[in-house]
Amino acid sequence: MIEDIPVPIPQKPKRFLDQVREFIRLEGKSYATEVTYLQWIKRYILFHNKQHPKDLGGQHIEQYLNYLCVQCNVSKSTQATALNAIMYLYNKFLKKNIDKIKFKPAVKKVRIPSVFSHDEAMDVIETLNAPYSLLAKLMYGSGLRISEAVRLRVKDIDFKMNYICVRDGKGNKDRTTLLPKTAVNELKKQISIVEKLLLLDKEKGIGPVYMPNQLEKKYPSAGRSIAWQYVFPSEKTSLDPRANVERRHHIYRATVQKNVKHAINRCNINKQVSCHSFRHAFATRLLENKYDLRQIQKLMGHADISTTEVYLHVVEQLGTVVASPID
């Protein structure tokens, strides 16, 4: 199954979860939201021994949220996500208004993210082989999430204006971010590889690239144009579950994560770091260089500035104000 193409559902769904899925799509929610909501709704139903949600109410929601807090020890954000999904199910889909529930809230844990130093980030990037090195360079140099990096299309990179347009980022929002000058030549070489691969796929009869929001019907030939191709295509083709067409999708996140993890180990970096740590390092370097917090918020695509403020904890220069007693 292709990880970010919506799964097919019947025209007149009979299964409850398929009906919820259809409702979410009609409301125009992002596919990531759809997947998250469906996961939590399914867990909620299983927790109550597969009872239909219409036969359950506020006390059952409270029981589940308390279970997540006490038994599962989830974070505050995880519990809030579960609550959002379940309340959406009742208030929106089932039209069963539930507004007052009492539950034990999870304790908020402020965690300072693990961040690469500049030298560590560059060591990992230089250890990686192409195209993973370029992907890591964009995560560090542009602040891209791994999902945003792998989904980049050729048309999203503006070499003349020196920016990258991130489409359908977290929260189903678009934003622009920096295009690192040191990545320009590598990106142009990567796009030339994509052009050659596109020609080979046409010769083999491979279908056009996946296009969202029914754009394939509106622009039938666009799926075979270079502009719509993924910058980082997968080595193998796969079957589109909705159209039953063989296509070449983008490289998988798990593949990138595995290669980055191996590179981190080879560099002997003994921190709890991952692909997302490049994004943390991006924000940290900008704060170290005294860039405005609001500007960083926009580049990162954070809906709430409090999310960006977490990086202030990383760059607090206590050593310049308070000296350690042993020093």
Quote the CA–CA distance of 148 and 322 in Å, as a whole number: 40
> Which sequence positions are flagged as catalytic?
145, 170, 276, 279, 302, 311
Residues in the chain: 327
- Decide: 209 and 229 in contact? Cβ < 8 Å: yes
Quote the CA–CA distance of 143 and 136 in Å, as a whole number: 10
Pairing of strands 246-247, 238-239: antiparallel
At 167, is the secondary structure helix, strand, or coil? Answer: coil
Cβ atoms within 10 A of the Cβ of 217, count?
Answer: 8
φ, ψ of residue 178 in degrees (nearest 5): -70, 145
- Residue 50 zone, left/alpha/beta (φ > 0; ψ -120 to 50; rest): left
